[in-house]
Amino acid sequence: MEFATFADRAGTIEAEPADLEIVAHVETLLEEAGDDDLEIVARFVQGRVFPAWNSTTLDIGPSTCYEAIARAGGTNVSADDVEDRLAELGEIGAVAASYDFGGQQGLDAFTGGGAGDGDLTVREVHGTLTDLAAAEGSGSHDRKVDLLFGLFNRCSSDEARYLARLVLSEMRIGVGEGSVRDAIADAFSVPEDRVERALQVSNDYGRVARIARDEGLDGLDAIDLEVGRPVQAMLAQAGTVTDALEEWDEAAVEWKYDGARIQLHHQPAATADGTDPGSGETRVFSRNMEAVTDALPEVVEYAEATLSESVILDGEVVAVDEEGEPLPFQDVLTRFRRKHDVEKAREDVSVRPVFFDCLHADGEDLLEKPLTDRHDRLESVLTAGSDASDPADVEGLSLLWLTDDADEIESIDAEALAAGHEGIMLKAPDSRYSPGRRGKHWRKHKPEVETLDCVVTGAEWGEGRRATVLGTFELSVRDGDDLETVGKVATGITDEKLTELTELLEPHIVTEDGQTVDLEPAVVFEVGYEEIQTSPTYSSGYALRFPRFVGVRHDKGFDDAETLERVESLRS
Ligand code: ATP
């Protein structure tokens, strides 16, 4: 498929307000995609270059993209001009579309062809972006700019609009995951719930679309979990013990560990007699399916020492002090981000894993099994590698209590809090594991401290002594693809922390106007507040009263930030 056709369809979709019509347009797009293009098109239309399970990123900041646009724009255009136009037009797609690209000299070295080499295809765009993602080490910045320039240089105005958005993960044409799921079902005449299952298991819209087209329902149903490829984590709602007991008669109660979510994928090593050719590979993923294996050697060591079956386990990694007592959640996150000197970081803060669910064991997918069966399986997997016979003594196993007694639940809650954890989880004993869903089957119960996870969309440079650090941060929540402001936070932050936050946010600066900067919505702050009020000051119509910085949610991104709908529901 020509990239121009894709861009044209994307334009139609963007202009379409009705959800059903959007699905119909995506369906047409999928039907039009040629044999090898379907996988790419199914991802591009959601603004993805790679499948969700694949943690490869393009690793392109806004400034790299501006540089490439400026170069393709001609000798009179500088990256500053691009930034100025962005301040004026407000969106990178509109900026890219406003230039007249094409025919800059000296292309052949980068594109293997260049302007006049025929129309750009989605496959070429994908191929070049894949090369770009692979560029590493010294010279990689220049290589990325070269490759991107080569693409922009062949773009028409419309193509440039969607290329720029794709590259900066800002596609936002109104195509949600549900629209692509429904479009796959309609285009290839397969039931939506089976497409949904295949998507949950594979996390790969491209592959599911291709299999639906080429192999139909049988092919879809044959897609299974794969050890080594992450699945989206099942999430929880806030909930009360009374509601849980009323709805389920009996609740499965677990401690809510104060750490960060991990998913462990482990294949045992090959057996000496060759009956099992296992790879011996262990991989660890974060809540957002990023690979964090290298940052958490303790988890790998635990898996190698404990596991003798191939498994996918869901759990939490907790930071502990020398006595094994839990440390605050922020300490865990410093370990997650650590890419270098991991051994040194480990001396300062060590972590240990605790597992509460088992999604796959020894070739069998367990997503559809009741929670209690999955927990039994988890227990048998971990007990097999332990000297302990009492589950309470099995290292890394989160205990589960089945009870209908509110008093017993209260005492489990008190124990969890006394042990330094957050509270308890209440789970429906017979519920299946629903990847990526925040449903009623998992409920978190913790002492009331109201916090919201907001995207930081702007900031202000400080004054005087603090002139070199960002000091006041604008907070926003999601409203569909848009962002609406809910307040600013400046309290609860030490000087040291401000320096750290400035380093974190600076690469995301999009435009700067005096003391004020606009940021691309990439960093999420957890912010405490006393109350939510209606307010004309912020675009959401609401304001957080007494906002207080709690921490950076390094494990969350734009898609995990709170929604306006949630803010509205917290008000009522
Ligand atoms: P929070 O900020 O409250 O952790 P969240 O948005 O990160 O919320 P939620 O789904 O709301 O995630 O809360 C569930 C989280 O609690 C899980 O993602 C996991 O990291 C953590 N957790 C700790 N112990 C458990 C447990 N026993 N079962 C499930 N999740 C647990």
For the chain, give every domain's residue range. 48-167, 235-445, 451-571
**φ and ψ at residue 450, rounded to 5 degrees:** -80, 120
User: Is the full-model pTM beyond 0.80?
Assistant: no
Structure tokens at 134: 């692979």
* Amino acid symbol at 220: L
pLDDT at 118: 60
Q: How many helices (H) and strands (E) does the chain have?
A: 21, 19
- CA 558/CA 438 separation, integer angstroms: 17
Rg over alpha carbons for the chain, rounded to the nearest Å, is 25
Mutating to test ligand 1, I would choose from 286, 316, 440 the residue with most ligand atoms within 8 A of its C-beta, which is 316
* Atom number, ligand 1, closest to the C-alpha of residue 446: 3
pLDDT at 241: 87
Mutating to test ligand 1, I would choose from 232, 237, 256 the residue with most ligand atoms within 8 A of its C-beta, which is 256
Annotated catalytic, 556?
Answer: no
**CA nearest neighbour of 251 among 242, 238, 261, 264:** 242
Answer yes or no: is the C-beta of 235 below 6 A from any ligand 1 atom: yes
The complex scores an ipTM of 0.95
Rounded (5°) CA angle 539-544-548? 130
The second-level CATH assignment, the architecture, of 235-445 is 2-Layer Sandwich (3.30)
Residues whose CB is less than 8 angstroms from the CB of residue 100 and which lie 6 or more positions away in sequence, other chains included: 73, 74, 157
Query: Which candidate in 256, 369, 488, 556 is catalytic?
Result: 256
Place of tokens 């390094």: 554
Which tens digits make up the pLDDT trace of 483-500? 999 999 987 688 888 999
Residues whose CB is less than 8 angstroms from the CB of residue 22 and which lie 6 or more positions away in sequence, other chains included: 13, 16, 174, 175, 179
Answer yes or no: is the C-beta of 466 below 6 A from any ligand 1 atom: no
Which tens digits make up the pLDDT trace of 278-290? 778 999 999 989 9
- CA 259/CA 332 separation, integer angstroms: 6
Ligand 1, atom 25: closest residue by C-alpha: 256
Query: What's the 261 CA to ligand 1 centre distance in angstroms?
Result: 7
Instruction: For residue 287, say whether it is annotated as part of any ligand binding site.
Output: yes
The second-level CATH assignment, the architecture, of 48-167 is Orthogonal Bundle (1.10)
Mutating to test ligand 1, I would choose from 289, 313, 425 the residue with most ligand atoms within 8 A of its C-beta, which is 425
Q: Which residues of the chain have pLDDT under 50?
A: 106-116
Answer yes or no: is the C-beta of 306 below 6 A from any ligand 1 atom: no
CATH number assigned to the domain covering 451-571:
2.40.50.140
Strand order in the sheet with 311-320: 282-286, 260-266, 311-320, 350-361, 364-365
Query: What's the 554 CA to ligand 1 centre distance in angstroms?
Result: 15
Query: What's the 441 CA to ligand 1 centre distance in angstroms?
Result: 13
Do the beta carbons of residue 177 and residue 51 sit within 8 Å?
A: no
Query: What's the 235 CA to ligand 1 centre distance in angstroms?
Result: 7
- CA 121/CA 105 separation, integer angstroms: 21
Structure tokens at 307: 């596991």
Instruction: For residue 440, say whether it is annotated as part of any ligand binding site.
Output: no
pLDDT at 115: 42
**CA nearest neighbour of 470 among 446, 442, 499:** 499
Answer yes or no: is the C-beta of 444 below 6 A from any ligand 1 atom: yes
Instruction: For residue 177, say whether it is annotated as part of any ligand binding site.
Output: no
